[in-house]
């Protein structure tokens, strides 16, 4: 298989260095995202194969994301495709939650700003 046909998640055989085996726990939002994914899959709104496909379609962005960013992005894609909610409904709800908890847009976070500066 040539590199042009490899999916971003297909890293078998590539040099990756040592594997970090320490359990770093989950951040609050990661626990919520994991619980949401579990409920959505348990209620059969989506399945692992659909989420895997959506994650693999992230292309080059895949390597720049952490695990829960990948799975959350995949969940968003699949639920939008299935018409569970629209992009406008999602954006409105996200703005409502940010306002309620005084949370900035995720692209305004220092972590994301630092990552985007490195990519330039």
Q: What is the pLDDT of residues 30-53, one digit of tens each?
A: 999 999 999 999 999 999 999 999
Q: How far is CA 2 from the centre of its chain?
A: 26
Each residue's pLDDT tens digit, 19-28: 788 888 999 9
Nearest Cα neighbor of 36 from 26, 25, 21 is 26
Task: Please tell me which residue, 24 or 107, carries the higher pLDDT value.
Answer: 24
pLDDT of residue 78: 97
Where does the pLDDT of residue 64 fall: very low under 50, low under 70, confident under 90, or very high at 90 and above? confident
Rounded average pLDDT over 96-115: 72
Least confident of 12-21, 42-51, 88-97: 12-21
- Work out the average pLDDT over 67-71: 93
What separation in angstroms does the CA of 8 have from each of 50, 55, 59, 76?
16, 9, 6, 19
User: In which band, very low, low, confident or very high, does the pLDDT at 115 lie, cut at 50, 70 and 90?
Assistant: low
d(CA 26, CA 23): 9
């Amino acid at each position: 298989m040539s590199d042009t046909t490899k999916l971003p998640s297909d890293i078998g055989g590539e040099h990756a260095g040592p594997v970090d085996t320490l359990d770093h726990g989950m951040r609050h939002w990661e626990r919520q995202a994991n619980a949401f994914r579990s409920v959505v899959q348990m209620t059969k709104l989506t399945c692992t194969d659909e989420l895997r496909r959506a994650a693999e379609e992230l292309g080059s962005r895949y390597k720049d994301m952490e695990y829960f960013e990948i799975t959350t992005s995949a969940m968003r894609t699949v639920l939008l495709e299935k018409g569970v909610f629209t992009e406008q409904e999602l954006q409105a709800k996200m703005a409502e939650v940010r306002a309620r908890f005084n949370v900035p847009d995720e692209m305004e976070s220092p972590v994301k700003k630092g990552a985007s500066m490195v990519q330039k």
